[in-house]
Structure 1
Amino acid sequence: MATVVGVPAGRLLLRRDPHPLVAHCGVANHVQTHTRFRRQGIGAALMRRVPGVARDGMGLERLGFTARPGLRLEDFYRGLGWVEVGR
């Protein structure tokens, strides 16, 4: 039996748009926290950090975020300053 020493508390995928005309744009998605670490602010910390990483670490000028509807997370993202643009 294997023992897992380190379990990631959360993750977020940030990618640059591959098309050359919009290579200055990025998309953040797949925000996930491990069930043991939920409700501890990890998802919020990831979402607060991603604009700086996109801008300073990747040189992105525009950042979008995709979220699956129906999970009642709109208030969470809105509370962090994200604005819904379309569905």
Structure 2
Amino acid sequence: MSLTFTLDPTPTPDLRDGVLDLWADVSNAGGAVGFVPPVTHETVRPELVKHMVAMVEGRTRLLVGHDEEGRVAAAAFLTRNTHRLMAHWLWLYTVMVHPRHQGRGYGRDLMAAAADAARTIDGIEAIRLTCRGGLGLERFYESCGYKEVGRVPGAIRVAPGDDRDDIVMLLPLG
């Protein structure tokens, strides 16, 4: 089965709860989505609220993938760059596929859907994202067409004595 992707879904309590469940489950499985396990829903909720406020204000767009049972199974946030000299690319944040669905190609499907979504936004020529070093994520993003364009050594501190590189990746859409 494949996921059904929706850009800009109606923000409902079910959607909010589904993304919250996804984010907490991905974090607790070791996913590099802004937290270090263990996390609770209450840990993640303030960050989700920030994203949802940005969605309502039109600054951020949500791409969500539902599985065959209608559950939120994947998500990513697309945010336009607000700097006037960099308005031709957007940020892709918090790329997540639920652990129960990993290994089925849904990550590639999500990345392709994100690129398709970005192509529908006037003036967008590229997608930029960052990922946490030490997990091999850059290899996954490279396999989706992204190129590493920068790296800040030790910029992400996941624990005392455990600093990881912040890796910048770019996908030209042209």
The TM-score with structure 2 as length reference comes to: 0.43
Supply the distance in 2 between the matched residues of 1:37 and 1:62 (Cα, whole angstroms): 27
Matched, 1:54 2:118: yes
Per-residue deviation, 1:65 = 1.7
SS in structure 2 opposite 1:31? Answer: strand
**Structure 2 segments unaligned to the other structure (5+ residues):** 1-17, 19-68, 152-174
Matched, 1:66 2:130: yes
Q: Return the match for 1:41 from 105, 120, 129.
A: 105
Give the strand-richer structure, 1 or 2.
2
**Structure 1 segments unaligned to the other structure (5+ residues):** none
Q: Return the match for 2:95 from 31, 42, 47.
A: 31
Per-residue deviation, 1:10 = 0.5
Q: Which has the higher contact order (CA 8 A, sep 6+)?
A: 1
- Which residue in 1 is equivalent to 2:71? 7
Considering only aligned residues, what root-mean-square deviation do their CA atoms show, in Å?
A: 1.9
SS in structure 1 opposite 2:71? Answer: coil
Supply the distance in 2 between the matched residues of 1:66 and 1:51 (Cα, whole angstroms): 15
SS in structure 1 opposite 2:107? Answer: helix
Amino acid at match of 1:38: Q
8 Å CA contact retained: 1:29, 1:67: no
In the TM superposition, structure 1's runs of 4+ consecutive aligned residues that sit over 3 Å from their partners are none
**Larger Rg over CA atoms:** 2
Supply the distance in 2 between the matched residues of 1:28 and 1:20 (Cα, whole angstroms): 18
The TM-score with structure 1 as length reference comes to: 0.80
Per-residue deviation, 1:77 = 1.3
